[in-house]
Amino acid sequence: MQKQPVWKRNLQVSTVSVFLAGIAFSEITPFLSLYIDTLGKFSHQQLSFWSGIVFSAVYVVAALVSPIWGKLADKKGRKPMILRASLGMAVVFTCMGLAQNVWQLLFLRGMQGVFAGFISNSNALIASETPKNKSGKALGIMISAQTGGQLLGPFAGGALSQAFSYRVTSFITGALLFTCFILSVFFIHEDDFVPVESKQRGSFKDTMKQFKSGQLILGLLLTTLIIQAANNSINPIVSLYVRSLMHNSRQVVLVSGVIAALPGIATVAAASYFGGLGDRIGTHKIILGGLIGSIILFFLTAFVRNTVELGVCRFLVGFTDACLFPQVQTLLTKHSPKELTSRVFSWNQSAMYVGNIFGPLLGSTVSAHFSYSAVFLVTSGIVVINLLLYRTNILKNIA
């Protein structure tokens, strides 16, 4: 009987771990603001302020430290970074359940950002270990697992917090991440890793010279940032948009949850297929189709008349997401030297974090000054800009 290739075993274990991590990272989302409210006496304005600060703390810190971890991954390997992230965040989430005031929770959210990188390093390991002609499908499977976990997380977190408490749910989240740590210790193998010496890593400028096209790499990172900002600009106002369409019906919360989950369901269903299709016809073509589809769907969403039309548009957006997020990572992999994979993925992760910071601010600002519909129009315009930059910085540099 032929022995299973290491990369296939790594993919199987990493898929399970990323799925569990996706649950862990998203299951506190439904009640984080409510948990903050139990840590002191806050006015409505104070609670909104602290919620925003606590939510964004992870991404601000992670955006700063991600390149540092990327350099260390080039030197020590991706597996040590996976172990560092999973064990560190297991401890942090467990401690969140012990927080006594909002300052302690804010500090722990910042520490979550310090230990971030489990999923990005898992993707980097799979990208570097998997044959190039299989990388698109492999990363599609990984993004499907991640998205599936992120879909299940809010439902699981809401159910657990209702059945037990916010604190117990944090302990369970820590246990999930510790499970990821155990799986990674015993079943993930990084056989082909070659350390990148300090003199090889050099400065950012020196590193860019090692790529065939530095403009292509920078263009892909910018694409990631804009995609993430565009998608996250919608998040703060989806439930409010639903409420306006339903005229304050009692079912707003339930319908909002379903509509919020629809893009992820489509992404899970399609990511692997589009990854494999990109391997055959060209990943850059899949991204181009995703950008065009996003422009059309965000524009149409501004003019929906009921929640059914909104749900259809949001579901279809999930297919465009499947053409974008995993495919950008695949294109980065295909156009990066193997020894720089971790650093490139850390840059990409930082770009995602920056998008996570600015996207919600954009959506909230536009909706406050204009309307909920205007958010989708502005987002569509942002993706148009992304498309133009993509054609300039990426398509012209594809060999």
Most confidently predicted of 47-51, 56-60, 111-115, 390-394: 111-115
Q: Flag the least confident range among 11-20, 158-167, 236-245, 289-298.
A: 236-245
3-state secondary structure of 304: coil
Whether the pLDDT of residue 287 is over 80: the answer is yes
CB count within 10 Å of CB 162 equals: 11
Look at residue 366 in the predicted model and tell me its pLDDT: 79
Q: pLDDT higher for 252 or 351?
A: 351
**Per-residue pLDDT reduced to its tens digit, 134-153:** 777 787 788 778 878 877 77
Q: How much of the chain exceeds pLDDT 90, in percent?
A: 20
Higher local confidence (pLDDT), 234 or 21 = 21
| pLDDT class of 1 with cuts at 50, 70, 90 | very low
Per-residue pLDDT for 86 more than 90?
yes
Per-residue pLDDT at 95: 95
Residues whose CB is less than 8 angstroms from the CB of residue 335 and which lie 6 or more positions away in sequence, other chains included: 211, 212, 213, 216, 217
Least confident of 146-150, 314-318, 391-395: 391-395
Position 194 scores a pLDDT of 66
pLDDT for the residue numbered 92: 96
**Tens-place pLDDT, residues 185-237:** 998 887 766 666 555 555 556 666 656 666 777 778 888 888 888 887 776 56
* Contact of 18 with 146, CB cutoff 8 Å: yes
Q: How confident is the model at residue 8 (pLDDT cuts 50, 70, 90)?
A: confident
pLDDT of residue 211: 62
Please, what are the domains in the chain? 1-195 (1.20.1250.20), 203-399 (1.20.1250.20)
- Cα-Cα-Cα-Cα torsion 318, 227, 17, 34, nearest 10 degrees, comes to -90
How confident is residue 31, by pLDDT bands cut at 50, 70 and 90?
low
The more confidently predicted of residues 257 and 138 is: 138
Residue found by looking up tokens 């860019």 in the block: 208
Instruction: Answer with the residue of higher pLDDT: 64 or 361.
Output: 64
- Angle, vertex CA 153, rays to CA 147 and CA 158, nearest 5: 150
Above pLDDT 70, what percent of the chain? 83
Please compute the mean of the pLDDT values over residues 60-66 and round it to a whole number: 82
CA 170, chain centre distance (Å): 20
Question: pTM (2 decimals)?
Answer: 0.67
Instruction: Return the residue matching tokens 């104070």.
Output: 46
Residue spans of beta strands (DSSP E) within the chain: none
Question: Average pLDDT of 3-7?
Answer: 76
Give SS3 for 389. Answer: helix
Amino acid letter, residue 328:
V
Residue 108's pLDDT is 94
Q: Output the CA–CA distances (angstroms, integers) from residue 205 to 209, 211, 213, 223, in the order listed.
A: 7, 11, 13, 20
